[in-house]
Chain A
Amino acid sequence: MTPIRNSGIPDPWAAGQAAGWKVIDASALADDLMLDADIAIVGSGAGGGTAAEILALAGLKVVVLEEGPLKSSSDFRMRESEAYPDLYQESAARKTRDKAINILQGRCVGGGTTVNWTSSFRTPPSTLAFWQREYGLEGFGVDDLAPWFAQMESRLSIGPWEVAPNANNEALARGARKIGISASPIRRNVVGCWNLGYCGMGCPINAKQSMLVTTIPAALAKGATLVTRVRARNFVLTDSRVTLLEGQAMDATGTAPTSRTVRVRATAYIAAAGAIGTPALLMRSRAPDPYGILGKRTFLHPAVVSAALMPDRVDGFAGAPQTIYSDHFLETQPIDGPLGYKLEAPPLHPVLTAITLPDDGVAHARWMQQFPRMQVLIALLRDGFHPESQGGTVRLRDDGTPQLDYPLLPVIWDGARRALRSMAEIQFAAGALSVMPVHGGGVAFADPAAARAAIDGFDLQPLVTTVVSAHVMGGAPLGPDPTRSVVTPTGRHHQLENLYVFDASLFPTSIGANPQLSIYGIVAHLATDLAQALTSRR
């Protein structure tokens, strides 16, 4: 084991724990643990972290349970072989039921915000309008939410990124310009970013303003308690209230529970375990679901991938990972029509690149040997708006763990085909020598006409065409109508008076943009209202 090299960077967790932050690693518990609190929060990601700070600052006693470990800047060595098992659900290999979609989801203190690529977008106005129109959701319009987005943008230093994009992102800007479609810079939540390019493995210099370095430390400084490596098993329900939260400690590897339990008795309970974890937690709790909505309509922004070979070095592993996007194919068509897609460029690191590239043996090795000249685009399909795009369903396995069944229906493949065409066109316009849509045996094309003709003829299939996701949304939607939503517009469960859902499960559809800021803003709004309701009762 090589020594930790980044010891020169101050780690706020070392200082905080020295100052007496209450942090308990449940994997090391010698006895069962019972805690009392005003608020018990399940999850420390975008939803749980945002809520924890707001509620703790309101003077409430907060306990946060996190399934993953506490890892912080002094642990972050920018190695995929360490980051994926340490920081991601199922070692970054979580899959849908038929294994056709690989899902990247955080599982660590800070959740997805610790490992995301910093892309920050307010919820698109067209998405909010759809929620209002189709779900009767009032109070979530652009103007209603603007102050909440502004508050969280300020809290997390979300702003323009002034550094030039890396060559991987620049190729998207260049290609888009050449074919006459819009592309714009992405705002990021960073302070003093060194432009390293390793956001997905935990920021080693604490530049990324994730929950790990902002809201969770602030809540702990206000006296909150954080329990790590504990999986929330179920809420105990008595009549229409939650009376207890029961969790199982996980072992140090994070894969299996130990025999220790962690229980929290609180006034109010918040599920913020992400859009797979939260519906599963409610299912294990046998929470009322009279209209069969829970865990349904779970969305992924299913993404398809296009790899290109450029004449010069791209070095897609270096530099801020996502700085340019194009919404041309979202904005130029009806939101509920054939699926639109957002175009972005992902960071390229050896493991993620190698497992995503099709084929194997000598052909795969040839592509990998061109790794520094590789340029990659992804297209995130906006699911959940078209009537045939109903997303997936979360179910429980026999062992109580969740599984997402997300059928890849023709409505998805139709969007995927158009997206593969667009990406190839942009990559050739940006100067690509060859383009390989990530499908089947991985055939590369040397000119746009050949690529287009081939893509038109592709037999797009699960486990033939690579589909990935880093955004899980829905499954416990908010809305006024209990026949169509799990929680009210305040985030409170329709049938349980002291249970709240504060995470991406709330969204009635996908967002149509990287969701972190949507979660921050909406949860800041809901958590502030909850804090007021709870403190005014005193």
Chain B
Amino acid sequence: MISRRTFITTGILGAAALVTAHWLRGPHAPAGDATLRVLDADAQAIMGAIVPVLLAGALPIAADARTKAVTATIRGVDTAISGLSPSAQDELRQLFALLALPPARLAIARVSEPWTRASEAEVRACLDRFRGSSLTLLRSAYAALHQLTFAAWYGNPTSWARIGYPGPPEIPA
């Protein structure tokens, strides 16, 4: 895994903030699912906040089914990222590592609480800001989160009944 300190492509925060990232980053997110291949605990916490917002209106209503669907989608995002080129995987790791840093979370995402406690309203506003940003870097971050999340959810047969998709046809043996 690439070092967090190698993240230099943005210029949004400036190099100084990133060099000090190590001692600024504060407490880690609670231990995540260690069986995921790419997403670490921090990244899982970020996706845990973002997935329910992107999939609002698509997820099951019942709390239990909803939690399961979010967990499955995060796992699907992890699987999807693990199929990308090493360079694309690195870029996404850097994106998550950046968003996990409290200064970046506050300054770029403008999410005031750690991701595990982030309010839907702040996450919603963050996604809107990324999508509408004048910086292509932030727009591409939105596009990546959008594509990964929707690919993971709608690749999952659980989602199909709700959209009236019968699934692939049976091939008679």
A→B interface (CB under 8 Å): 5-9, 77-81, 84-85, 90-91, 93-95, 98-100, 102, 196, 198, 204-205, 253-256, 317-318, 350-351, 353-355, 360-366, 368-369, 371-372, 397, 399, 401, 403, 441, 462-464
- A78 and B168 form a contact (CB under 8 A): yes
- A5 and B165 form a contact (CB under 8 A): no
| Chain B residues near A363 (CB-CB < 8 A) | 57
| Chain A residues near B156 (CB-CB < 8 A) | 81
> Could you list 12 further interchain pairs (A-B, Cβ under 8 angstroms) beyond the known A81-B156, A371-B164?
A8-B171, A80-B151, A93-B147, A95-B88, A196-B169, A198-B168, A355-B146, A360-B56, A360-B127, A361-B55, A365-B57, A366-B57
- B171 and A85 form a contact (CB under 8 A): no
In the complex, what distance in Å separates the CA atom of A462 from the CA atom of B140?
9
Of B55, B56, B139, B165, which one neighbours A317 at CB under 8 angstroms? B165
Q: Given the known A-B contacts A256-B86, A360-B53, A365-B55, are A371 and B163 also in contact in the complex, defined by CB atoms under 8 Å?
A: yes
Of B86, B154, B164, B170, which one neighbours A5 at CB under 8 angstroms? B170
In the complex, what distance in Å separates the CA atom of A522 from the CA atom of B87?
34
B→A interface (CB under 8 Å): 53-58, 76, 79-80, 82-89, 124, 127, 131, 136, 139-140, 142-144, 146-147, 149-151, 153-156, 159-160, 162-165, 168-173
In the complex, what distance in Å separates the CA atom of A204 from the CA atom of B169?
11
A-B pairs, 10 with minimum CB distance = A365-B57, A78-B168, A81-B155, A362-B57, A91-B83, A8-B173, A463-B139, A85-B83, A350-B154, A6-B171
19 A-B pairs with C-beta separation under 8 A: A8-B171, A81-B76, A91-B83, A93-B80, A100-B140, A198-B168, A253-B82, A255-B89, A354-B153, A360-B56, A361-B55, A364-B57, A366-B57, A368-B163, A372-B164, A401-B86, A401-B87, A463-B140, A464-B139
B39 vs chain A, min Cβ distance (A): 16
B57 vs chain A, min Cβ distance (A): 3
Q: Given the known A-B contacts A350-B155, A355-B150, A463-B143, are A8 and B172 also in contact in the complex, defined by CB atoms under 8 Å?
A: yes
- A360 and B164 form a contact (CB under 8 A): no
| Chain A residues near B142 (CB-CB < 8 A) | 463
| Chain A residues near B139 (CB-CB < 8 A) | 462-464
- B153 and A91 form a contact (CB under 8 A): no
| Chain B residues near A365 (CB-CB < 8 A) | 55-58
B150 vs chain A, min Cβ distance (A): 4
- B165 and A371 form a contact (CB under 8 A): yes
In the complex, what distance in Å separates the CA atom of A205 from the CA atom of B124?
45
In the complex, the chain B residue whose C-beta lies closest to that of A8 is B173
| Chain B residues near A99 (CB-CB < 8 A) | 136, 140, 143-144
| Chain B residues near A403 (CB-CB < 8 A) | 87
| Chain B residues near A95 (CB-CB < 8 A) | 88
| Chain A residues near B150 (CB-CB < 8 A) | 351, 354-355, 360, 364
| Chain B residues near A360 (CB-CB < 8 A) | 53-56, 127, 146, 149-150
- A253 and B87 form a contact (CB under 8 A): no
| Chain A residues near B86 (CB-CB < 8 A) | 255-256, 399, 401
| Chain B residues near A355 (CB-CB < 8 A) | 146-147, 150-151, 154
In the complex, what distance in Å separates the CA atom of A280 from the CA atom of B134?
32
In the complex, what distance in Å separates the CA atom of A8 from the CA atom of B56?
41
In the complex, what distance in Å separates the CA atom of A205 from the CA atom of B155?
22
In the complex, what distance in Å separates the CA atom of A353 from the CA atom of B156?
14
- B173 and A93 form a contact (CB under 8 A): no
B75 vs chain A, min Cβ distance (A): 12
Among B54, B142, B164, chain A packs the most CB atoms within 10 A around the CB of B164
- A98 and B147 form a contact (CB under 8 A): no
| Chain A residues near B79 (CB-CB < 8 A) | 85
| Chain B residues near A464 (CB-CB < 8 A) | 139
Q: Given the known A-B contacts A81-B76, A99-B143, are A368 and B154 also in contact in the complex, defined by CB atoms under 8 Å?
A: yes
In the complex, what distance in Å separates the CA atom of A210 from the CA atom of B171?
20
Among B54, B147, B154, B162, chain A packs the most CB atoms within 10 A around the CB of B154
